[in-house]
């Protein structure tokens, strides 16, 4: 028996049982009640049935009560229409009142169900608002972090360039680092603006027939600094045939750039990234394959949603704004194509696939997109010449940031070494015995907190002062720094005057977080 049938049998069975019970009680009391108040007990049956079983069973109880009263209560017994006309009028009134009662019960049930639905909707909306507020806070924190990293290199580089008597090759090296970080800022700002345009419906395409191979070549040029800094093995299996598509060259470069940047971000140092381009009868198919951290099966459907990161671990390594892949999906769909991801699971790498409608190669033109942007000069405070320790270790996975900061510290008279991951930082700390360690927090593999804990466990003498130089600056981050044995917590982009003052005035062995 199905649950629906079982429920119906129970509800209508209650109506029958309650009517039979009331009829038995009415017959039992007939000696004392005679024909007075012949219907009162049947109201009890109708109301109880409406409350327990609903309006349908209540109607059955009402009809059965009318028949039972006519047959066994109102004289003469066994007659439905005979007897005193007053009894017939009373019977009609009983039926009418019963119908009104059933209607009121039904309306009350509907209002109760509606109020429950409203309550559920309110709970769901409250949860959505809470999730939205949480994701907004996370996004703003991530945005601040992503902006602070390139800004740190720019501020340090500007201070470096302002120093007199710089060697020309050093100046060129710093300029190249600054240019790469400016390009990173351009990409972040462009992605943010494009998301805003898309949500407002203002994102448009300037389409022409182009060779997708050229688009991929240009995208590789744009992400080359990121690829090189992570020592990734990037190869593009460039086909001999022209890969003609009808699209906006700038937007398609943006698609491929975001895919490659995502692959570089979630692939460990010296990892492998491959680009394949296949031709199908009606489509051009682009594959970006890496051997990085992979994507869990339950996360693959959500990875193209706004503000979603593939790795939201407490170490915060490899996090971005969560808009790059969302833009990829939006832009590809605007071109009439599809974007998808496949992965065998965490640690098994990822394959991102983009399908675009093929076009006639005879109509192909050369893409000539240009990036542009306006940048304001960053103010630079004058350096300080206060007393300071002489041996400094810089630990930062951002090679540009580490090299630029190390170069600037050398100009100030420090003996400086640099490391680009936690393990190397521990080894350098034991060998170099620095007075001060400038430590990034959001490093891949071993984060800055764990690095600091392991350095403290080495009991290096003299005890180095550990300064967190990071894009994370909340109260929780500062508390984590203090718990890990970090003495000072500075937020990127750091002010060199502030850093000099901190290193000059810190009391070694004190554990404070400023």
Out of 3.20.20.60, 3.30.70.20, 3.40.50.1980, 3.30.565.10, the CATH code matching 202-363 is 3.30.565.10
Per-domain boundaries in the chain: 3-125, 202-363, 391-505
Nearest to 360 by CA among 251, 209, 241: 209
pLDDT of residue 382: 36
More confident residue, 307 or 363: 363
Residue with tokens 């901190």: 502
Helix (H, G, I), strand (E, B) or coil at 401: helix
Helix (H, G, I), strand (E, B) or coil at 427: helix
* 372 Cβ contact list (under 8 Å, min separation 6): none
- CB-CB neighbours of 185 under 10 Å: 17
Nearest to 444 by CA among 350, 318, 347: 318
- Specify whether the backbone of 202 is left (phi greater than 0), alpha (psi in -120 to 50) or beta: alpha
**Sorting pLDDT into bands at 50, 70 and 90, what band is 80?**
low
User: What is the pTM assigned to this prediction?
Assistant: 0.48
More confident residue, 21 or 455: 455
On whether the CB atoms of residues 334 and 177 are closer than 8 A, the answer is no
Q: Which pair of structure tokens corresponds to residue 377? A: 């000069």
Whole-angstrom Cα distance, residue 160 to residue 172? 11
Whole-angstrom Cα distance, residue 65 to residue 46? 8
Mean predicted lDDT score pLDDT of the chain = 80
The answer on pLDDT for 317 being more than 70 is: no
pLDDT in tens, 429-483: 999 999 999 999 988 889 999 999 999 999 998 899 999 988 777 778 889 999 9
CA angle, 341 as apex, 340 and 342 as ends, to 5°? Answer: 130
pLDDT of residue 512: 41
CB-side neighbour CA atoms (13 Å) of 331: 28
Mean pLDDT within 218-225: 87
Q: Which pair of structure tokens corresponds to residue 202? A: 């203002």
Quick one: 391-505 is in which CATH superfamily? Response regulator (3.40.50.2300)
On whether the CB atoms of residues 8 and 53 are closer than 8 A, the answer is no
Whole-angstrom Cα distance, residue 252 to residue 421? 34
* 321 Cβ contact list (under 8 Å, min separation 6): 139, 142, 143, 146, 188, 191, 192, 307
Whole-angstrom Cα distance, residue 225 to residue 115? 59
pLDDT in tens, 108-118: 878 888 888 99
Lowest mean pLDDT among 33-37, 69-73, 174-178, 221-225: 33-37
Q: Which pair of structure tokens corresponds to residue 455? A: 């350095």
């Amino acid at each position: 028996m199905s649950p629906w049938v079982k429920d119906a049998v129970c509800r209508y069975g209650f109506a029958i049982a309650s009517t039979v019970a009331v009829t038995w009680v009415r017959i039992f009391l007939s000696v004392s009640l005679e024909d007075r108040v012949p219907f009162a007990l049947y109201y009890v049956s109708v109301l109880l049935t409406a409350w327990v079983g609903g309006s349908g069973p209540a109607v059955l109880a009402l009809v059965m009560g009318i028949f039972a009263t006519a047959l066994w209560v109102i004289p003469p017994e066994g007659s439905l229409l005979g007897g005193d006309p007053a009894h017939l009028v009373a019977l009609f009134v009983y039926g009418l009142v019963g119908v009104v009662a059933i209607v009121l019960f039904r309306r009350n049930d509907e209002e109760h169900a509606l109020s429950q639905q409203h309550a559920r909707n309110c709970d769901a909306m409250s949860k959505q608002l809470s999730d939205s507020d949480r994701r907004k806070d996370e996004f703003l924190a991530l945005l601040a972090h992503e902006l602070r990293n390139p800004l740190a290199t720019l501020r340090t580089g500007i201070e470096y360039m302002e120093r007199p008597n710089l060697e020309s090759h050093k100046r060129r090296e710093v300029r190249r680092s600054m240019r790469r970080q400016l390009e990173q800022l351009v990409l972040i700002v462009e992605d943010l603006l494009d998301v805003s345009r898309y949500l407002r419906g203002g994102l448009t395409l300037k389409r022409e027939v182009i060779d997708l191979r050229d688009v991929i070549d240009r995208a590789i040029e744009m992400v080359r600094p990121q690829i090189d800094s992570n020592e990734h093995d990037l190869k593009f299996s460039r086909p001999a045939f022209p890969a003609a598509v009808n699209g906006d060259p700038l937007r398609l470069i943006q698609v491929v750039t975001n895919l490659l940047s995502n692959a570089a971000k979630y692939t460990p140092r010296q990892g492998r990234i491959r680009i394949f381009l296949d031709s199908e009868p009606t489509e051009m198919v682009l594959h970006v394959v890496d051997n990085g951290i992979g994507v869990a099966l339950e996360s693959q459907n959500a990875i193209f949603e706004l503000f979603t990161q593939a790795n939201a671990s407490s170490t915060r390594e490899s996090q971005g704004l969560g808009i790059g892949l969302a833009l990829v999906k939006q832009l590809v769909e605007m071109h009439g194509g599809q974007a998808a991801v496949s992965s065998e699971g965490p640690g098994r790498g990822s394959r991102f696939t983009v399908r675009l409608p093929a076009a006639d190669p005879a109509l192909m033109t050369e893409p000539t997109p240009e990036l542009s942007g306006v940048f304001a000069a960053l103010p630079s405070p004058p350096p300080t010449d206060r007393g300071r320790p002489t041996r400094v270790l810089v630990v930062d996975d951002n090679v540009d940031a580490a090299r630029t900061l190390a170069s600037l510290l050398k100009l100030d008279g420090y003996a400086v070494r640099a490391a680009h991951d936690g393990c190397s930082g521990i080894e350098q700390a034991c060998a170099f015995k620095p007075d001060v360690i400038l430590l990034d927090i959001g490093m891949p593999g071993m984060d800055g907190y764990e690095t600091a804990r392991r350095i403290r466990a080495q009991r290096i003498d003299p005890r180095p002062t550990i300064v967190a130089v990071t894009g994370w600056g909340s109260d929780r981050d500062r508390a984590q720094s203090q718990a890990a044995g970090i003495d000072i917590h500075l937020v990127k982009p750091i002010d060199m005057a502030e850093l000099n003052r901190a290193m000059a005035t810190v009391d070694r062995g004190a554990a404070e977080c400023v």
